[in-house]
């Protein structure tokens, strides 16, 4: 594993002599534009591991993406190799249907300290809730990004991340009432504490998320990649290209269904994902919105 391979993978050609915020923002943005959030291994008969060398070979050398436990583990390794003061944290994802946080820390994120200030880096939540740049760890501060306004809120015993976005505009009437659309403009995303976590902390969760029949990732095959104007997503057989239009107060969701025969081509051309094993797309009933 080496940084040069990773930088080539994300298209980063700059200098990282300065461990400053500008460099962190740049590689964070390049990562989410280059390496998808995806759980396709589960639906290709492959096991997902927390082994960093396996993750590096998959995501850097084999033109694949991964879910948060892979993406943010890789990103944390990159930051440490570069010399950033980086700490792994665990977070509990909020369930809109249940109205509460997951009982386990299923989402891995990174805290980075630069010039005495703390930032939250998260390159792997995907779709419209994906950060393009790290967020400064200040309670209540509105931090505008392409997808909307993000806020970190100190609740005393935990921090909470929420986002206020824009209403979806759907040109294809067939998808106007799609369950993939979330009409709520303000969403709670997850909560976390500042307690440092080691990789082994996520071992059981990593196993459960790909084996529990109730897991979202068992019930839906997902691939999402940010673009300079929004993001792309493939959930089951539904392919979406989303364009952010903040000046109009909307995000345009161009959605269509595709066939099994078209899946690999779409993954290759739209996400730069090259599968080694046959994908069995899944889109069972489970709470997931773009």
Domain annotation covers residue 288 = no
- Could you read off the pLDDT of 111-162 as tens digits, one per residue? 999 999 999 999 999 999 999 999 999 999 999 999 999 999 999 999 999 9
Range of the domain at 162: 3-271
4 is catalytic: no
From the list 28, 31, 43, 68, the catalytic residue is 68
Task: Tell whether 172 is covered by a domain.
Answer: yes
Annotation marks residue 107 as catalytic:
yes
| Strand 186-192, strand 167-169: pairing | unpaired
| pLDDT 10s digits, 219-232 | 999 999 999 999 99
Write the pLDDT tens digit of every residue in 4-21.
999 999 999 988 888 999
Catalytic residue at 68?
yes
pLDDT at residue 286 is higher than 90: no
Q: Which of these is catalytic: 31, 43, 107, 223?
A: 107
Number of domains in the chain: 1
Residue 240 lies in a domain: yes
Which residues, in sequence order, are CB contacts of 21 under 8 Å at separation 6+? Answer: 114, 115, 119, 134
Per residue in 179-218, pLDDT tens?
999 888 999 999 999 999 999 999 999 999 999 999 999 9
Is 277 part of a structural domain of the chain? no
CA-based nearest residue to 227, from 249, 194, 251: 251
Query: From CA 205, how far away is CA 248, in angstroms rounded?
Result: 40
Does 100 reside within a domain?
yes
Q: What is the DSSP string of 153-213?
A: EE-SS-EEEEEE--EEE-SSGGGTT-TT----SEEEEEEE-S----GGGGHHHHHHHTT-T
For the beta carbon of residue 252, count every other beta carbon within 10 angstroms: 17
What phi and psi values does residue 4 have, to the nearest 5 degrees?
-60, -40
Q: Any idea what the CATH number is for the domain that residue 8 is in?
A: 3.30.2140.20
Does 57 fall in a domain?
yes
Name the catalytic one among 43, 122, 182, 223: 122
pTM: 0.97
pLDDT for the residue 14: 82
Q: Does the pLDDT of residue 97 top 90, yes or no?
A: no
- For residue 204, count other CB atoms closer than 10 A to its CB: 10
Domain membership flag for residue 197? yes
Strand partners, 109: 89
222 strand-pairing partners: 235
Does residue 84 sit within a domain? yes
Which among 239, 204, 242 has a CA at the least distance from the CA of 221?
A: 239
């Amino acid at each position: 594993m080496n940084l040069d391979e990773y930088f080539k993978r994300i298209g980063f050609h700059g200098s990282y002599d300065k461990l400053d915020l500008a460099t962190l923002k740049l590689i964070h943005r390049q990562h989410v534009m280059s390496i998808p959030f995806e759980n396709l291994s589960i639906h290709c008969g492959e096991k997902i591991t927390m082994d960093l060398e396996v993750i590096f070979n998959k995501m850097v050398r084999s033109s694949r993406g991964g879910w948060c436990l892979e993406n943010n583990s890789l990103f944390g390794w990159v930051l440490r190799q570069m010399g950033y003061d980086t700490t792994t944290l665990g977070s509990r994802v909020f369930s809109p249907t249940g109205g509460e946080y997951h009982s386990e820390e299923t989402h891995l994120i990174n805290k980075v300290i630069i010039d005495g200030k703390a930032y939250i880096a998260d390159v792997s939540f995907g779709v419209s809730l994906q950060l393009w740049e790290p967020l400064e760890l200040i309670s209540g501060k509105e931090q505008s990004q392409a997808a909307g306004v993000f806020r970190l809120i100190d609740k005393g015993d935990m921090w909470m991340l929420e986002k206020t976005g824009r209403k979806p505009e759907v040109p294809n009437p067939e998808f106007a009432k799609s369950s993939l659309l979330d009409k709520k403009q303000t969403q709670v995303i997850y909560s976390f504490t500042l307690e440092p976590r080691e990789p082994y902390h996520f071992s059981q969760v990593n196993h459960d998320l790909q084996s529990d029949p109730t897991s979202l990732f068992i019930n839906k095959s997902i691939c999402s990649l940010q673009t300079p104007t929004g993001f792309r997503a493939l959930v089951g057989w539904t392919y979406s290209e989303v364009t952010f239009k903040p000046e109009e107060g909307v995000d345009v969701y161009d959605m269509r269904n595709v066939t099994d025969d078209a899946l690999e081509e779409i993954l290759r051309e739209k996400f730069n994902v090259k599968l080694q094993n046959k994908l069995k797309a899944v889109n069972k009933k489970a709470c997931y919105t773009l």
